[in-house]
Structure 1
């Protein structure tokens, strides 16, 4: 025992003379410095969050603007195909097609190619069409109109459909202005488009006068190679109207948006500026926008409204709390060091009390012996340095069958262990330490080398010669001076535990074999209260499902969620949370993206239960259902497709009609249908055979499909009856489309059959009307057309 008369001293610099004021001041300075570091880190984290939020908003705004540019190209391309597939377009047909396209567009126009020799005849025909005087003319720099001078050919505006009610520039020759002619010159090949430099548009609202002209060439079906375009379809765009519509107002917008034309000779021209003030911080994003054959720069910056909506007081709170805590710590240290002298006096008094307790410890030693004898389930054996037994408690007597008198001073610890096992372990230790370790030293060698032993299983020999398996820990026994005086062995009978362990191991091996034969993977999934999740058990089939190391899943399940398809990830997370909250079975089908197998479908089922510490445990299985999903998709496609013609069948038409009727009723939109029936189709089958009749059906479907818009739905009801569903079109617009389809069917003969005609009926949806009533009126139109001699289009029947 150490000398109790020496008072305890604080080591190092913390001596008795250390001033409490110095310690308190040092703590205050250190606390303030730490608060400053925390405040700086909080400020940096806040700036990082602001940048992430800005990048998300800027990316969304760029995607929306790019989508609107692409939409304008698609609409102009549709207008070009409308002219390409038609032999002649009337003003009424042009208006009927172009009017629905005017959303976010100032105007659509058509300018045909007119040779110099055709000028007078063209002006007369155009005057008759438009019902007003028409001539090919130019507009000078002062805005005055005059007749265009003689040129080899012209591209005058013939048709136009504009959002503005002001007078339209009919007859304006696009070659009369260098800017417009240069734009035409860049669009001379089929399928090409060109966009002009920024220009002042004619006959539009004053707020939208500055804009762009997009042109697309139209070529005749019979045009020879290198022939010039037969005309141009055009669209006038105001970027202020195109970009600002449906976006937040200037007062509410978190972004400052500018679009610049980088190709101007006088520098970069700003085509659009949202006008709201930018925030005084470095948050900016630049993108390139593509329109026809031109690129524009999109600059996005954070606005002052964005900065106001994302203010944070965390830096101030951290700074104030840090200073307050530093003051409290300094005060505490000052108080502690003030009390140090009183504590030293208290230590002296306690030392005197410890001397009294020393006598009590000697008495306790005798009680300890009684406790050793009371430990009847544990064998406690103490030996000398030579291994001779000096202590043999009642638990050792009970476990080994020897009495204390038979063991004390007569037996060694080596006598109680199976000899073969001692030799085997002695040989292993000799190889480990590189020196000879005898059998008698095998039990003590690790204690000598490491200073403390580790529990190990040994086979002990009882007095009657029987064996038992015991877990034995051998440690060194030291005296008061720290000298090694012997060993202490503590033995616990683990025979029954070993038998249970072997049974459990056999069960685990059986479980592994069974799980390997089950298709898919069997697993146990754990979700803790703090959100951490893992797979305590996962069969080898789970590696095939996710292609993830199973050892990694035992620690963290994040790798599994990284494999789930982004479109399905949030749904799967919600279903897991719902199952945990309600303790209902979890069932899901979702896609996974694997490094080797690619995209696969997985089905999972599991049953939850509450675990320890607020966690939830699921027991379930996962299986690959990719082949089943593929079969389901093929069956779905076959169920809505007409096998002969390749277009949609009656079932698909009925599903789409119900959906479009609901949308029209809900949003107040137009809807119309066109029904057609091939004339004398039975006669074609009887005269040429059913194979030729099938060819006629396929040829008609191909011809009609080329003339429909992408939004129209073309279906075969059965036999020679077909139906066209026209969302967004009224009865008048549907009739114009029906006339085009009727002309396209009758104008081109079918090979081997000749001319084939059809009877058309048109019906527009009326508010409150059901599907049966709408189809009945369309069918009545077809019936009227057939009664009137076939090969015609009948409008809506009252």
Structure 2
């Protein structure tokens, strides 16, 4: 009642989220339950008892004290072990998450370099060839667009525009955009990097063909950096009002004979430009991090010292517990992961609740079952003792010779009649644990004990009851005994011994 009402009230007052209702209810219920099973035994100890045979209170205090010490020690130990295990498990999850979702980011971008190799190896590439080659790459959800932008010198501009119009691209012109993002003719410059081919999605709102990437300051800086270093550059750029803060990869394509850095400026053929939606790129990682209650941020560091937050964000003054880095173009992407308290608490809480309930039940069991166990044990002992006494009385009172052996032919019990018989025939006293046929008879005794007793007991141990008739000379008189060999069967059906019962039938045979 208490946790149900309390948790329901907190949930209705928006003090508790729906995801935490089950855990908070169980935590509350466990606390109340442990309190009950810990304090109820103490009250029972203080309650006077006049029951006959009641145990002294100190007999209860010892198991209660020992159990309480074990509970406290076990709780502290479990908390530390669970915390260590939770951290180890989180570390493994972070490693798996990093391997599968972060380190593979570079592999998702690497197909763009295949387009670069395609242009480097080809003297001339048509639009149809470009679209066919880049179709699979541009279909990836994180690839917004793939452009080919050749370098066009100022004295080549008119011929390049005329050639594109002759190829069927009507009204083609090297252009830029005005304040309303409407295409206008690009002003004169030393060189241009217009989009000649573009693999764009069907729902694209802006046709980039003819747009000069070199006209924009941020793109021009990235282009110049790529030419100077000879490697691709990656920048976060606003390409269009519908494409803000996208990752743009500028991959330079040089003439085959360019070997030295001084030749790169004149030997640049153009750029393969990949426009990447890094929100889609990081989406699998983001979903996995949220599912594991992990906080993260991915930061890009360029060779020029620029630093850009790409995804996620760690709270201020939070030190990351794990860091991993990969190189993408001219940037280093660093992943920083911090573990919130809720991640560890979620992993530790369930085991601690289970241990608390178990500990409380153990205390209650140790205290409340002591008396019940003693009474049950005493009662069982009385029943066994009474049964044994009754059985011994029955065996001792009979005039028949009764003896029992185990599976190794050793005597386990016998009655006075059997002891008297052995004394008369063998002039010795039988002993428990003695092999039943190990006593030699007197030479004058015609005694079945020395002849076939072992074979008859073997039959009984095999589950085959046997009855024989034997003549024995006792005190100068011949007596006839009817002897029965019967298996002793346990409660599980197995034979655990055999009985030998001999009855004097001399009067009936006379």
Does residue 162 of structure 2 align to residue 162 of structure 1? no
3-state SS of the aligned residue for 2:325?
A: strand
CA distance in 2, matches of 1:65, 1:156: 35
Structure 1 pair 166/304, CA: closer, same or farther in 2 (3 Å)?
A: farther
- Residue of structure 1 equivalent to 2:354: 317
Does residue 226 of structure 2 align to residue 184 of structure 1? no
Q: Can you give the 5+ residue segments of structure 2 that lack an aligned partner in the other structure? A: 1-54, 375-428, 440-510
- Residue of structure 2 equivalent to 1:28: 64
CA distance in 2, matches of 1:71, 1:150: 39
- Residue of structure 1 equivalent to 2:421: none
3-state SS of the aligned residue for 1:111?
A: strand
3-state SS of the aligned residue for 1:297?
A: strand
3-state SS of the aligned residue for 2:105?
A: helix
- Residue of structure 1 equivalent to 2:214: 175
Q: Is the Cα contact below 8 Å between 1:190 and 1:218 reproduced in 2?
A: no
- Residue of structure 1 equivalent to 2:244: 209
CA distance in 2, matches of 1:330, 1:125: 98
Q: Which has the higher contact order (CA 8 A, sep 6+)?
A: 2
CA distance in 1, matches of 2:72, 2:215: 70
Structure 1 pair 76/47, CA: closer, same or farther in 2 (3 Å)?
A: same
Q: Offset of 1:152 from its aligned partner?
A: 2.0
TM-score (norm 2): 0.52
Which residue, 120, 136, 149 being the options, matches 1:84?
A: 120
CA distance in 1, matches of 2:108, 2:165: 30
CA distance in 2, matches of 1:48, 1:115: 64
Deviations 1:144-191 (A, max 9, x none): 654333322222222111235222222333332232122222323797
Q: Is the Cα contact below 8 Å between 1:259 and 1:270 reproduced in 2?
A: yes
Q: Is the Cα contact below 8 Å between 2:324 and 2:334 reproduced in 1?
A: yes
Q: Offset of 1:130 from its aligned partner?
A: 5.3
Q: Offset of 1:247 from its aligned partner?
A: 8.0
- Residue of structure 1 equivalent to 2:45: none
Q: Is the Cα contact below 8 Å between 1:155 and 1:231 reproduced in 2?
A: yes
Does residue 282 of structure 2 align to residue 243 of structure 1? yes
3-state SS of the aligned residue for 1:48?
A: helix
Alignment of 1:44-63 (within 5 A): 44-63=80-99
CA distance in 2, matches of 1:202, 1:249: 30
- Residue of structure 2 equivalent to 1:94: 130
Q: Offset of 1:90 from its aligned partner?
A: 1.5
Deviations 1:556-583 (A, max 9, x none): xxxxxxxxxxxxxxxxxxxxxxxxxxxx
Deviations 1:499-558 (A, max 9, x none): xxxxxxxxxxxxxxxxxxxxxxxxxxxxxxxxxxxxxxxxxxxxxxxxxxxxxxxxxxxx
CA distance in 2, matches of 1:334, 1:84: 91
Q: Is the Cα contact below 8 Å between 1:158 and 1:171 reproduced in 2?
A: yes
3-state SS of the aligned residue for 1:187?
A: helix
CA distance in 2, matches of 1:84, 1:109: 15
Which residue, 323, 331, 355 being the options, matches 1:286?
A: 323
Q: Alignment RMSD, CA only?
A: 4.7
CA distance in 1, matches of 2:225, 2:306: 22
Alignment of 1:126-165 (within 5 A): 126-129=164-167, 131-139=169-177, 143=181, 145-163=183-201, 164-165=203-204
CA distance in 2, matches of 1:216, 1:263: 15
Q: Can you give the 5+ residue segments of structure 1 that lack an aligned partner in the other structure? A: 1-18, 338-365, 377-798
- Residue of structure 1 equivalent to 2:499: none
CA distance in 2, matches of 1:257, 1:317: 31
- Residue of structure 1 equivalent to 2:418: none
Q: Offset of 1:263 from its aligned partner?
A: 5.9
Q: Offset of 1:321 from its aligned partner?
A: 2.8
Q: Is the Cα contact below 8 Å between 2:97 and 2:289 reproduced in 1?
A: no
Structure 1 pair 332/252, CA: closer, same or farther in 2 (3 Å)?
A: closer
CA distance in 2, matches of 1:291, 1:323: 56
CA distance in 2, matches of 1:132, 1:245: 42
CA distance in 1, matches of 2:269, 2:124: 12
3-state SS of the aligned residue for 2:210?
A: coil
CA distance in 1, matches of 2:331, 2:303: 12
CA distance in 2, matches of 1:325, 1:309: 25
CA distance in 2, matches of 1:283, 1:83: 42
Q: Offset of 1:131 from its aligned partner?
A: 1.5
- Residue of structure 1 equivalent to 2:107: 71
